[in-house]
Amino acid sequence: METAVKKQRGTLSGQVRHYILTKILNGDFEPGERLIEMKIARQMQTSQAPVREAIRELESTGLLETLPNRGSRIRKISNQELSDIYDVRAQLEGYAAEVICQNQVETTDQLEDAVERMLAAAAKENMMLFASINHEFHSIIIKNAGNEILLKTWQTLHIQIKTFLIVNRLEKNLVEMANSHYKIIDAFKKFDAEQARFEVISHIYKNRPDIVE
């Protein structure tokens, strides 16, 4: 019974988390705005417990911050911060791409499938779905390197959340963004470690935000 309650609460907190995240990405919640647990609970027709859990989860991603005696509010994430994250990400994924090719791990079918789904999302102009699949593409590269420390380090960057923000800010053509992944796939098909590393790093830097605020 207790396990079922925990599972239900976890599901509810996930729904609330998605609700808050969507509001942030759509601009309905602005940087500096305070989140009122009771109000969100009422809007989501739930208790405050899953709202509290969702807020705590989003705090760990850096999207929210809690101030003493002032509650939680939306953090302003600067382009400088995102750019710094992309610098680190580029090196991690570039290394992963190199390892995959050196070990001749087959990933092209998974990567091509992800790009096809990205193109479908782009055709529907569904930015959140596009960003989610884009994150999946890059997670395939990291996971197939077979290095748990590398994976955990990459996960601490909360790439999925940051990808949502990047896609929103860049205002690039989503079809072009999706197609830009094919150069990476071509390098993997040849197991060309040097080229794969180069293409992955170049791709990430190309889609990094400008530092100017």
Task: Pick 79-206's CATH classification: 2.130.10.10, 3.60.20.10, 1.20.120.530, 1.10.645.10.
Answer: 1.20.120.530
Q: Which two tokens stand for residue 20?
A: 């808050």
Q: What kind of architecture, by CATH, is found in domain 2-74? A: Orthogonal Bundle (1.10)
Q: Which two tokens stand for residue 27?
A: 């601009």
pLDDT along the chain (213 residues), means of 10: 40 87 81 90 91 88 82 85 90 98 97 97 89 93 97 89 72 88 97 98 87 56
* Domains in the chain: boundaries: 2-74, 79-206
**pLDDT value of residue 211:** 63
* CA atoms of 49 and 41, how far apart (whole Å): 9
CB atoms within 10 A of CB 88: 13
